[in-house]
Structure 1
């Protein structure tokens, strides 16, 4: 019985030893959009889909990551009225939408 107890203790002791872990993070290189000058309560739409409050993507530091290509960008007020509409083409850069 003592042999089984010693073996169990040895297994538990080895199990407690953890191997070193390595974490590799790859930066996201997708293009991004930022919105400047959007009024309070404005909502950002990209290709007809709501992305949330336009003020959340002011570029300091938050931006909206998008796929490369052409996108239809709308900034709408709380009632859904279009305040600004722009078609943009992005490849790998940050594109800032200026709402007038």
Structure 2
């Protein structure tokens, strides 16, 4: 009986780990051009990025994040470091992919 209980606990732990929120979950970045919903799951899980590819280089924490302009992003700052048309889709002319009104 103890073996069955131990196996059940292990299965439940594995299932909860598989459905856990990746990284910081979803973060809404407020913008005049329409808010941007940043998904850790699509970048870390789907994009197969490690946390250190963005944290402590581009972003520190939500509270320490500095606002950047689209012009700065087009120069490789913030999201533009990856969204340059080579590593990921470009921030130029692709507004609706990120900004939702």
Q: Please tell me the TM-score bracket, short chain as reference.
A: under 0.3
TM-score, normalisation: structure 2: 0.23
Which protein shows a greater Rg? 1
Bigger share in helix:
2
TM-score, normalisation: structure 1: 0.23
Greater RCO structure (CA 8 Å; 6+ sep): 1
